[in-house]
């Protein structure tokens, strides 16, 4: 499957609307680890055509990187059911990326939403 290029939050909307799981690689053209990660991302994209794989050039699209609190590159973000499940800075080896994808697929999203609701309740009670 092709890797999509995201430029802003508007370009992200249709991707998360049409895919249960979205993997986003935040990168920059001058970043050697980012260049090294691209073939790994491409292989994962081929192995998991049911997922949406995207890239964000942080030099050209700083606002989108800021929206995800990206502080270093490369950073990989995984979204499932419109919920950010993981944000991992640094270049991931192929086996680690595959493990992460497997764990994201196995998540019980009802439990994730339940846990998020509990966290929000605690925050509200602390105010």
Which of the residues are catalytic? 31, 34
> What is the DSSP track for 23-83?
EEEEE-TT-HHHHHHHHHHHHHHHH-TTSEEEEEETTT-HHHHHHTT--SSSEEEEEETTE
Query: Any idea which residue has 């050697």 for tokens?
Result: 32
Cis link prior to 96 (omega < 30° from 0)?
Answer: no
State the distance between the two ends of the chain, measured CA to CA, in whole angstroms: 46
């Amino acid at each position: 499957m092709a890797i999509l290029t995201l430029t802003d939050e508007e370009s992200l909307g249709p991707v998360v609307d049409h895919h249960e799981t979205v993997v986003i690689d935040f990168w920059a053209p001058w970043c050697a680890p980012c260049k090294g990660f691209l073939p790994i991302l491409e292989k994962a994209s081929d192995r998991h055509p049911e997922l949406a794989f995207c890239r964000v050039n942080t030099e050209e699209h700083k606002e989108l990187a800021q929206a995800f609190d990206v502080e270093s590159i490369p950073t990989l973000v995984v979204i499932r059911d419109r919920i950010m499940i993981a944000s991992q800075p640094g270049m991931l080896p192929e086996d680690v990326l595959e493990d992460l994808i497997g764990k994201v697929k196995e998540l019980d999203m009802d439990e994730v939403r339940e846990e998020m609701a509990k966290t929000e309740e605690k925050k509200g009670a602390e105010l």
